[in-house]
Amino acid sequence: MRQARFPADEPLSRRPAALAGPARLDGLLRGPELRCAQTADALGWDAAVDEALSDLDHGSWRGRSLAEVEQAELLAWMTDPDAAPHGGEPVSGVLKRVADWLDRQGDVGRLGVVTSPAVTRAAILAALVAPPSAFWRIDISPLTVTQLTGGPGRWTVRETGLPLGDVS
């Protein structure tokens, strides 16, 4: 995202020297993207891949800058959660996928997850029962933590934007 391009499963732009991840976790999961694998590795996590934690599929826009995308299509995508002019996944798709994933979590204890900003936004919206239009109003910085507490049907956003090294 440093270059304002749609993700194309690129590696981390800078590999952290060492990350201190949350302690006392009962399970470790990650999205299938290379950057998720590299982040989990930097945390020292042997995290299992969960396809439900995949980044939003940007279709034909993968690797392209915002300037390279037809602006009317970009506007449609950002204002209509069901639009997918890029041929990938609409925002409504990632919202449903992540909400369904949260509903399947049951009593998992403390679960550590490495995933994309889009999946994190979708989890926050599901917890808050917020409308899809709020998706673009949540900024998720790299190497930060969002904590949800609760369980299916009763999720609460505890905090978001916490620098990864500050997690306990």
Q: What band does 17 get if pLDDT is binned at 50, 70 and 90?
A: very low
Of residues 1 and 150, the one with the higher pLDDT is 150
pTM of structure? 0.86
- In order of their start, the domains of the chain are 27-163 (3.40.50.1240)
Cβ contact 164:145 at 8 Å? yes
Q: For residue 68, give Cα distances in angstroms to 7, 29, 50, 130.
A: 14, 34, 31, 31
Q: What is the mean pLDDT of residues 27-41?
A: 95
